[in-house]
């Protein structure tokens, strides 16, 4: 879901929000790398950093403007120079080139296998949040899913489905969205409370990321105002995907496959969020 949010955040027209960069943590099963490479095909343009023709971080970030810069390999496979450049670009929202400085206009998608290492932890801080990736928990389920998908769906139907998603993203990406006051209050209450509990879970740039995810949620629903539901969903998405988010009971952050059960779970999550933040909404 974060990848879809990121895709619609690239063309950003609001001063309150920013491009959503995605950092996924987990063991290197190869699944996350494959997933972000496939999802990047839905972007207007995408460039893979570290491929045979794209080893320059500066050139890759500029060539992917309006789309996605994909780091398909785990963070620790890139050089320290490349990692530092990525961090600086995201932190300053600028790309340094030989001819000058340009604004960063692409989303960076990356994955890390050992974010506890000092060098990688420092990089992870500039990403608004860290998504919990593949830890091998659902290896059997993923194998069954891929096998079932291979048997039931032809290549042509998969291509058609991806094409339909890309068309829809192109439709909503240009929506101008603003957050109403209640949505901002919920996000601020969650941000402040989480920072008090454990600042490592949500970095200093986490507030603008929450606001950006909230706005992207409204975009995907073709709404020009992000409201309470979008704010709660942004908070839930952060809580459900962030490693080490121990404040939330597991039954509220493990999404059921049934839509009705998901709706019921979100009602309970809303009650938990009110208690957690001390707000009423």
Per-residue model confidence as pLDDT tens digits over 53-66:
677 899 999 999 98
Give me the residue label for tokens 């993923």: 142
- Name the token pair of 34: 């494959």
Domain with CATH 3.40.50.300 in the chain: 21-127
- 2-9 vs 31-40: helix crossing angle, rounded to 10: 30
CB 46 within 8 A of CB 68: yes
Q: What is the CATH number of domain 21-127?
A: 3.40.50.300
pLDDT at res. 118: 46
| Per-residue pLDDT reduced to its tens digit, 139-188 | 566 556 556 655 555 555 555 677 788 888 888 887 889 999 999 999 99
pTM assigned to the model: 0.80
3-class DSSP assignment, residue 187: helix
Sign (positive/negative) of CA torsion 47, 49, 53, 58?
positive
Instruction: At 101, give phi and psi (nearest 5°).
Output: -120, 135
Residues of the chain with pLDDT below 70 are 12-15, 26-29, 51-53, 113-125, 128-129, 132-160, 243-246
3-class DSSP assignment, residue 23: strand
């Amino acid at each position: 879901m974060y990848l879809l949010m990121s895709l619609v955040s690239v063309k950003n027209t609001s001063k309150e929000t920013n491009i959503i960069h995605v950092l996924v943590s987990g063991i290197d099963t190869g699944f996350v790398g494959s997933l972000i490479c496939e999802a990047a095909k839905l972007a207007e343009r995408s460039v893979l950093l570290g491929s045979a023709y794209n080893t320059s971080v500066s050139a890759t970030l500029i060539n992917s403007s309006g789309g996605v810069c994909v780091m398909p390999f785990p963070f620790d496979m890139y050089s320290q120079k490349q990692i530092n450049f990525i961090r600086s670009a995201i932190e300053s929202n600028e790309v340094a080139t030989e001819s000058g400085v340009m604004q960063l206009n692409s989303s960076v998608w990356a994955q890390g296998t050992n974010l506890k290492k000092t060098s990688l932890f420092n990089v992870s801080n500039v990403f608004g949040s860290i998504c919990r990736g593949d830890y091998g928990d659902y290896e059997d389920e993923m194998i069954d899913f891929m096998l079932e998908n291979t048997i039931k769906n032809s290549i042509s139907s998969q291509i058609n489905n991806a094409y339909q998603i890309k068309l829809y993203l192109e439709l909503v990406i240009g929506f101008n969205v603003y957050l109403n006051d209640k949505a901002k209050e919920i996000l601020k209450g969650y941000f402040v409370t989480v920072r008090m509990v454990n600042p490592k879970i949500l970095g200093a740039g986490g507030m603008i990321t929450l606001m950006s995810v909230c706005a992207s949620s409204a975009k995907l629903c073709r709404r020009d105002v992000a409201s309470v539901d979008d704010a709660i969903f942004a908070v839930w998405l952060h809580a459900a995907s962030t490693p080490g988010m121990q404040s939330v009971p597991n039954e509220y952050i493990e999404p059921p496959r049934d839509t009705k059960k998901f709706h019921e779970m979100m009602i309970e999550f809303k009650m938990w969020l009110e208690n957690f933040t001390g707000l009423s909404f």
